[in-house]
């Protein structure tokens, strides 16, 4: 394989620790021609709102946009599954010329009559922004006629980065919050934000907090329900996991309702335990909550510790490349991989901010490559140069790993098994070991950079 070069305009978004002064550029539009791994604004908002299972999700645009996010995610529901249907207004040439508002009105009306959702989200795609459909007024009209919240999501693909899509989703959620009262919600209560119930993860986390004696008012958005979100303003605390997607909402709730928030992660033993202890500390006036948290941590770790030690033996000294959506997840993964005896040689994210990258730099070893908004060639280059044995990423990173002849662990929304919580850490360790030590690599030799 010939040497892989980096585009000049991408150089400020890549940093190798120890080789140069740290001056990372991030939070900017993807470079045209770079073929970034990052998706569009619409996709960002769609993935955040997708798991709300009793809502109608209507994509106002060409059918291709809807196909892009249709039911490829592992977000489970304990009840309705309307979220798994991604409806589209299927805008065509005539609609682009004469406008798509009528089509949107009839599609919304018919879908609400057919499926009786608790609310509807209407996603604006690129073409809707260009032709100037007044999506807000159509939503308002249908909401009045049908008596349910109909929320426009201003997610035109061209108007920013995937992170702007998260913000558009947060703005839509914020309109729902506060619409329902529930005086039975007491002091020891919280909302889980940025947890999408992939493979049932929200159920695992909810169970821990409930064992501690805390009421979960809503999960946004895993196994989400419209009515729970409508009364989320009654909770005492917001616990934010996927900080890139949900900090915006937590900040808005803090300003309007005075609800404080903390950032946590449910991945890896250390961060999972901190997520329980930090909540217990918040409710420090009740020492029983901390006592119960300690019991959960002790029992859960004891139950998986022997198996983790055994897995560690086969992973000692192996090298991993981590490329994920949000930087906060990368922090947890670095800790979890180190616990398994592995070295992280590349760490990157699609949506990290300057503080995230500063922290990532502090956490990483000398020689680790830190990258923002990477493209496949960059990932391939550093995987080869750093001789990684594993890539951790999502659906778009999987083929890169397999083409390079190395292991892969899916840590994104498409996976079907839970990786959060203590049981999730064991699942993660087992998956990493299976992939890194698989005999299949004998038949798909690793790329070394010397082949042509």
Shortest separation between residue 84's beta carbon and ligand SF4, angstroms? 19
Shortest separation between residue 110's beta carbon and ligand SF4, angstroms? 23
Query: What string of DSSP letters covers 111-162?
Result: HHHHH--SEEEEEE-HHHHHHT--HHHHHHHHHHHHSS-EEEE---GGGS-H
**At residue 393, what are phi and psi to the nearest 5 degrees?**
-165, -145
**Beta carbon nearer to ligand SF4, 30 or 332:** 30
**Beta carbon nearer to ligand SF4, 40 or 324:** 40
Can you name the residues that pair with 308 across neighbouring β-strands? none
- Could you tell me the CA-to-CA distances from 61 to 42, 77, 129, 283 in Å, in that order? 11, 26, 10, 46
| Cβ proximity of 313 and 123 under 8 Å | no
Shortest separation between residue 159's beta carbon and ligand SF4, angstroms? 9
CA torsion 192→195→197→203, rounded to 10°?
-30
Shortest separation between residue 68's beta carbon and ligand SF4, angstroms? 5
Q: How far apart are CA 340 and CA 9, in angstroms?
A: 36
Shortest separation between residue 28's beta carbon and ligand SF4, angstroms? 17
* Tokens standing for residue 219: 């999960």
**Beta carbon nearer to ligand SF4, 159 or 338:** 159
* Tokens standing for residue 159: 């108007």
- Taken in order 243, 52, 289, 235, the sign of the CA dihedral is positive
User: What are the residues whose beta carbons fall under 8 Å from the beta carbon of 49, sequence distance 6 or more?
Assistant: 55, 57, 121, 153, 169, 172, 173, 221
**Beta carbon nearer to ligand SF4, 40 or 122:** 40
CA nearest 70: which of 89, 85, 81? 85
Q: How far apart are CA 337 and CA 419, in angstroms?
A: 13
**Beta carbon nearer to ligand SF4, 98 or 158:** 158
Interface with ligand SF4 by CB under 6 A: which residues?
Answer: 40, 42, 61, 65, 68, 125-126, 157
Q: How far apart are CA 89 and CA 111, in angstroms?
A: 11
Buried-state track 212-231, b at ≥16 Cβ within 10 A, e below 16: bebbbbbbbbbbbbbebbbb
147 Rama sector, left if φ>0, alpha if ψ -120 to 50, beta otherwise: left
Shortest separation between residue 53's beta carbon and ligand SF4, angstroms? 23
Shortest separation between residue 96's beta carbon and ligand SF4, angstroms? 12
Beta pairing class for 369-372 and 14-16: antiparallel
Shortest separation between residue 434's beta carbon and ligand SF4, angstroms? 34
- Could you tell me the CA-to-CA distances from 123 to 29, 65, 70, 127, 226 in Å, in that order? 21, 10, 13, 11, 17
Shortest separation between residue 43's beta carbon and ligand SF4, angstroms? 6
**Beta carbon nearer to ligand SF4, 37 or 125:** 125
**Beta carbon nearer to ligand SF4, 68 or 115:** 68
Q: How far apart are CA 7 and CA 35, in angstroms?
A: 11
**Beta carbon nearer to ligand SF4, 161 or 241:** 161
**Beta carbon nearer to ligand SF4, 36 or 368:** 36
Shortest separation between residue 157's beta carbon and ligand SF4, angstroms? 3
Shortest separation between residue 35's beta carbon and ligand SF4, angstroms? 14
CA nearest 118: which of 154, 89, 147? 147
**Beta carbon nearer to ligand SF4, 135 or 296:** 135
Chain residue at closest Cβ approach to ligand SF4: 157
**Beta carbon nearer to ligand SF4, 52 or 168:** 168
* Tokens standing for residue 99: 């406008």
């Amino acid at each position: 394989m010939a040497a892989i070069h980096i585009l000049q305009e991408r150089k400020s978004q890549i940093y190798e620790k120890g080789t140069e002064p740290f001056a990372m550029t991030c939070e900017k539009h993807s470079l045209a021609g770079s073929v970034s791994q990052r998706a569009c604004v619409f996709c960002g908002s769609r993935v955040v709102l997708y798991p709300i299972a009793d809502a109608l999700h209507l994509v106002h645009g060409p059918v291709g946009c809807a196909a892009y996010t249709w039911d490829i995610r592992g977000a489970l529901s304990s009840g309705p599954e309307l979220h798994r249907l991604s409806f589209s207004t299927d805008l065509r040439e005539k609609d682009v010329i004469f406008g798509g508002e009528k089509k949107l009105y009839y599609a919304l009306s018919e879908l609400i009559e057919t499926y009786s959702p608790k609310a509807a989200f209407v996603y604006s795609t690129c073409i809707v922004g260009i032709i100037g459909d007044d999506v807000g007024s159509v939503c308002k009209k249908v909401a009045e006629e049908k008596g349910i919240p109909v929320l426009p999501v201003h997610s035109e693909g061209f108007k920013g980065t995937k992170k702007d899509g998260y913000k558009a989703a947060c703005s839509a959620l914020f309109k729902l919050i506060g619409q329902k009262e529930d005086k039975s919600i007491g002091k020891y209560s919280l909302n889980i934000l940025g947890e999408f119930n992939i493979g049932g993860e929200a159920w695992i986390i909810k169970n821990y907090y409930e064992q501690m004696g805390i009421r979960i008012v809503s999960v946004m958005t895993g196994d989400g329900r419209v009515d729970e979100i409508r009364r989320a303003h009654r909770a005492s605390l917001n616990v934010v996991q996927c900080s890139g997607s949900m900090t915006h909402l937590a900040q808005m709730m803090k300003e309007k309702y005075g609800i404080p928030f903390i950032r946590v992660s449910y991945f890896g033993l250390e961060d999972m335990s901190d997520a329980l202890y930090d909540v217990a500390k918040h409710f420090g006036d009740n020492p029983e909550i901390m006592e119960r948290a300690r019991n959960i941590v002790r029992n859960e770790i004891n139950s998986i510790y022997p198996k983790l030690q055994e897995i560690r033996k086969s992973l000692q000294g192996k090298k991993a490349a981590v490329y994920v959506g949000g930087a906060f997840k990368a922090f947890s993964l670095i800790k979890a991989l180190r616990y398994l005896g592995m070295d992280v040689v590349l760490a990157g994210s699609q949506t990290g901010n300057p503080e995230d990258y500063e922290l990532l730099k502090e956490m990483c070893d000398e020689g680790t490559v830190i990258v923002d908004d990477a493209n496949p060639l960059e990932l391939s280059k550093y995987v080869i140069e750093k001789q990684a044995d594993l890539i951790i990423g999502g659906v778009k990173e999987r083929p890169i790993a397999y083409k390079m002849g190395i292991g892969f662990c899916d840590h994104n929304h498409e996976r079907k098994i839970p990786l959060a919580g203590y049981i999730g850490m064991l699942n993660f360790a087992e998956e990493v070991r299976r992939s890194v030590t698989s005999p299949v690599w004998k038949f798909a030799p690793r790329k070394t950079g010397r082949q042509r």
